[in-house]
Structure formats: structure tokens, C-alpha cells
Chain A
Amino acid sequence: MHVERSYSDDGLVNALKQPVEMNAAIRFIYSEYYGMLENYVLNNNGSRDDAADVIQETIVAFIEIVEQGKFRGDSSIKSFLFAITRNLWLTELRKRDSADNRNKNFEKGKDILDEGAANHLIKREYFLMIQQLFEKLGDKCRQLLMMVYYENLSMSEIVDQMTVYQNEQVLRNKKYKCMKQLEQMMQDNEILRIQFKNALKNAG
């Protein structure tokens, strides 16, 4: 893999906020930290596949925390990534074997992350459940919602690409319909709904 450039911690945070620089920044994270994070998972009863999954989640979570301005820079990016990986991996181990893995390491891992970052990791658990529901939407809905919420394209840009929609209003109506459909599936998922309500209560 070609790593275009290296970054300081501040430079890396800034690069992750710039769409044109994001890929280069992600490549740098992989080249610098993947080995360390993988070792942690491998040394804690994980396989290489486990490590790959957890590291992918770690990096996505880190980017989201940075985008939301919740990375305060109190610790180095290396320590922060390590703390996220440890948190996610120990959570995964707890799911697999809840009794044995409620260990002190988990608490240590949580300590390094501040409240905002830790809450984001909890929220991501709901994201994963919502994403599974999202996959059940039709192709057109998924394509449209990805264009709107991930690619941040304007309605006029999407009309140009999805010619099946005659104008922006038709497209906007379709977006409402798709989101309503997704919300309905979320409401119908009792586990998701209850846990989400509880999380909202706990958050205050």
C-alpha cells in the first residue's frame, strides 16, 4: 500500500476533516498503527480476522469522533486508538463470554477515553443494528440515502445521477419515504427501541 505522506497528530486530525485528504490520512493510520492494534487483539484471544474487524471499527469510530469535534487531543492518537480497540475488543469478548471477560482491563480502557468518545462507542452499537435494517431497504432507497447522508450531494446533483427522478421535489419525497420506512423498521425492532430509549434516558 502506498502511503503518500506522514502526519503529526494535529496534522492527522486536520487531514481526517478534509474529504480530499481523508484517504491518505487513513492509509497513514494503517501503516503506523495496524500492527500495534493487531498485536493487542492477537495477544488477547483474538484471531487475525477478529483483529481486522475490530481495527476497522476502531478507525471508523475514531474518524467519527474527530469529525464531531470530540477528540480533544489530551492523549496521543496512538494511545487513543489503542484505547478504542481495547474497548471494542473487550466489549466483543464480553458478548462472547460475558462472565469471564468482565476484567479490569476493560475499565482501564474506558478510563483513557473521555465521556464523549466513550458515549460515541456506545452509540455505534446502535449504528450497527440500524445498518442491518438499512440493508433491508430497496436498492433505490439505499443508493439515494447514501448519496444524501454520506456523499453529501445536493438534490440537483442527485437528480442528475438518478434520472429516474424527474425533479428535486420528487426526489425529496422519495427521501422522506425511504427515511420513514427505515424509521418504521427501527421502531418495529423491539430490542433496538428499548435499548435506544434507555440510552437516551441515561444520557440525560
Chain B
Amino acid sequence: MQDNYPDEIIIQYIDDEMTIDEKQAFEKLLKEDDVLYERYQFMLAAKQAIRSRGLKERVGKIQEEYIQSLNSPAVTTTHIPSKYSIFKTLMRVAAVLIFAVAGYGIFEFSTTNNNSVYESGFINYQLNVSRGAEQTHQVDSLYNAENYRAVITAFNAKAQKEQEDYFIAAQSCLHLNKPEEAISAFQQIEKMNASTDHKSFVDETDFYLALAYIKAGRISEAEKQLNKINSNKQHLFYNKAKDISKFKLKILQLKN
């Protein structure tokens, strides 16, 4: 299709680049020349189609965004959980807690024994260095040298025994894994302290007797002893007694 008018003229008209006179002259031609009119319509359709393409891209991007939001509703809408889903979540949390607690309980039950609780509470008793008598000094030396059997021998050989002698002997018995003998020695200190104004190793005896009971598997008596300490915040071993877990004592009671 050819006519006498270059494309530039039609495009100038479509793009509104003509003067008013040029525009009026061109519109007159459009009415008179069917071929020109058809070319003008073609060009106009091309321009509109290009614009439509841009608009379609724009709408397409928003549509894509919209469809994506439909596929992931949490992004676009506030999720209000139903009562059922809250219940389910709580049940899951509860189940996890139950498993965790049960797991912890099983672990503690399997790993807790008399000796483990005793060891966790035990602190090695250090003797004071200011004792006078030669025989006493010998016992102290043996104790400090961790020669506990010799301590017991020396203790048995000693005619006049004081609270401190019983205490060192009891400590040695604990080291020698003889808790019942240690208990007897500690109880002897208690008796001596009960019958004299000259009380010695009172707080120490309370605490180590409790440990001796634990080591011997006499958990109820150990608990009584620990409760006695825990009821007195001024007690020398108050904090140490607190550190001994009541839960672990319950396990020991179950096991014993």
C-alpha cells in the first residue's frame, strides 16, 4: 500500500507534534483519502498496542504478586489461630515438656547413687595446725599424709579420746569407705558435746554425719540431718547442705 504521504507525517499527527495549521490540514486529508485513513488507523493501532503491552506487563507483575500472596497466605493475612490449633500447639508443647522431664528423670534416676550424691557434697576436711600433744600431733600428721588406716590404728591406741580425735577417725573412715564406722564416731562426738560445755566440731559433725548417712544408704536419717542444718542459716555448712538436691535424695530413697 503506497500513497503520497510519508510515514513521518502520520506519526507526527499521532504523536501530537504538528502545529495547529498542520493538524487541520492533515485531518482534512484523512477525511478525503481512504488509503491514508487506513494507514493512520494502522499506525494508531500500533501505538495503542505498544501502550497496551506496557500496561499488560504492569498488570502482570501485580497479578504475579497477588497469586504468590494467595499461595502464602501468612504473608498477606493475619493468621488468627483457631481454638483447635491453640490446643494442638499447647499439647505439642506439653508433650515436649513431658518428654524432656521424663528424659531428665530417667537420666537422673539411672546416674544417681549413694556415692555420687556423697561425692558431690563431700569436701576434704583440712586439719588446723595448732595442736599440742605429741600423740595428737602424730595422728594429725598421718591424716594430713592421707594415711587413714594408720590414723585409725593410732586412734584405737589412744587412751583418752576427745571430740577431735573421733572426728579425725570418722573422716578417715569415710576415706576408707567405712560409712557405718564413721557414723558411730560422729554420733560419739554428738554424745560428748551433749554432755559437756566444751563443745567441739558441732557443725562439722552435723554435715559429715549427713554425708556418712548418704554413703551408708540411710537416706531418711540423712534428710533429717540436712533439715537440721537447713533450719539454721548461721550453720557453717548451711550452703553446702542446700546444695544437696532433695530430688536426688528422693531418687536414693526409691532406690534404697
Please report A residues at the B interface, Cβ cutoff 8 Å.
1-2, 22-23, 26-27, 30-31, 34, 52, 55-57, 59-60, 63-64, 123-124, 126-128, 130-131, 134, 145-146, 148-151, 175-176, 179-180, 182-183, 186-187, 196-197, 200
Instruction: A23-B62, A146-B53 given; name 18 further pairs at CB < 8 Å.
Output: A22-B58, A23-B58, A27-B66, A30-B63, A63-B59, A127-B45, A128-B49, A130-B45, A131-B52, A134-B53, A150-B51, A150-B53, A176-B8, A179-B43, A179-B46, A183-B7, A183-B43, A187-B1
Roughly how many angstroms separate A131 CA and B47 CA in the complex, as a whole number?
10
- Contact between B66 and A31, CB atoms less than 8 A apart: yes
B47 neighbours in A (Cβ, 8 Å): 149
Query: Chain B contact residues (Cβ within 8 angstroms of A): what range?
Result: 20 to 34
**A187/B66 contact (C-beta < 8 A), A146-B50, A150-B54 known:** no
- Contact between B52 and A187, CB atoms less than 8 A apart: no
- Contact between B7 and A63, CB atoms less than 8 A apart: no
Closest to B69 in A: A1
Nearest CB of chain A from residue B70's CB, rounded to whole Å:
8
B65 neighbours in A (Cβ, 8 Å): 1, 27
**A56/B50 contact (C-beta < 8 A), A175-B11, A179-B7 known:** no
B227 sits at the interface (CB 8 A): no
A126 neighbours in B (Cβ, 8 Å): 45, 49
A196 neighbours in B (Cβ, 8 Å): 41-42, 45
A23 neighbours in B (Cβ, 8 Å): 58, 62
Roughly how many angstroms separate A127 CA and B53 CA in the complex, as a whole number?
8
- Contact between A151 and B54, CB atoms less than 8 A apart: yes
